[in-house]
Amino acid sequence: MYDVIVIGGSFAGLSAATQLARARQKVLVIDAGLPRNRFADEAHGFLGQDGRAPAAIMRDARRQLGRYPTVELLSGEAIGAEAADNGFTIHLGVGGERQAARLVLATGVTDALPAVPGMMERWGATVLHCPYCHGYEMRDLPLGVLAAHTMSPHQALLIPDWGPTTYFTQGAFEPDPDQLRALADRGVTIERTPVIALLGKAPALAGVRLADGRVVELAALFTAPRTRPATALAAMLGCAHEDGLTGPHVKVDARGATSVPGVWAAGDAASPMHNATLASAAGVMAGIGAHQASIQPTVQ
């Protein structure tokens, strides 16, 4: 019986586990090894780690976490979760189960990109979602924003700080009059003919082909994928969800507590804003919350 099982071994999960380890809690980290950031060669904007590969950051974090004697790391998939006497039972994909008094879910999300040929093979390299994570590396190059939801015009307003920008409405996300004026003030070109294909040898991007046959040269294309929880564990446990800009996420309070007593959530699975630093910070808060609940059981 563990004090806490942390499910997910990326920025949020390992940050939570570190706080718990330092509180001398008996912790199990279960990691399926499929982090959302596996498509990116480098992480940016993360203090002290700028430009390093996410996989290298995680290797160092696991090595450091492994020095704490109360921590175990398990490579595998958690496929089921349920409340049990005095805690929770987690079912593993390879068989077997583990029990803990409390849980931290840092299971992340999966991305569904717009249905345009050439997107997936460039995801994380030249098809991007976060200018703060990747924009600097594309500075002063021709950039595009492929509309995917109602906040896409806002994304298009940001991107000119990194390079000349074209906003592709895809015939579905037309800016309102105020947005059109703001985009014009920012020098954004509006293109209403839909993008039908991405061009160039992936993962590089040379441009996009429009439905009328024209080609627009681009070095990178920003968009907002639709997201969904990477696992159904939170739903199995009965955790409340709420809608974010790109999809549903687990509803949590300021310390990461979910609607289910004894369960915390952190990272992309529990936030409408997705960023490595924010995920790590949320993991810290969830880990602290899960520890303090052990000494104040009525408080989450």
Tens digits of residue pLDDT in 96-135? 999 999 999 999 999 999 999 999 999 999 999 999 989 9
CATH no., domain 114-222:
3.50.50.60
Q: What is the pLDDT of residue 214?
A: 97
Class of domain 2-111+226-295: alpha beta
Give 27-53 pLDDT, tens digit per residue: 999 999 887 777 787 888 888 888 888
Q: Whole-angstrom Cα distance, residue 280 to residue 45?
A: 12
Residues of the chain with CATH 3.50.50.60: 2-111+226-295, 114-222
Q: In this structure, is the dihedral angle defined by the CA atoms of residues 31, 273, 89 and 81, taken in order, positive or negative? A: negative
What is the per-residue burial (b if ≥16 Cβ within 10 Å, else e) of 277-293?
Answer: ebbbbbbbbbbbbbbeb
Residue by residue, DSSP assigns 37-95 as: GGG-S---SSTT-TT--HHHHHHHHHHHHTTSTTEEEEES-EEEEEEETTEEEEEETTS
As a 3-state breakdown, the chain gives helix, strand, coil percent values, each rounded to 5, of: 30, 30, 45
Q: What is the pLDDT of residue 297?
A: 55
Give the CA-trace dihedral at 13, 18, 20, 22, to 10 degrees.
180
Structure-block tokens of residue 9: 């071994």
Res. 7 pLDDT band, cuts 50 70 90: very high
Give 54-104 pLDDT, tens digit per residue: 889 889 999 999 999 999 999 999 999 999 888 999 999 988 999 999 999
Give 148-173 pLDDT, tens digit per residue: 988 899 999 999 999 999 999 999 89
Cβ atoms of residues 249 and 171 within 8 Å: no
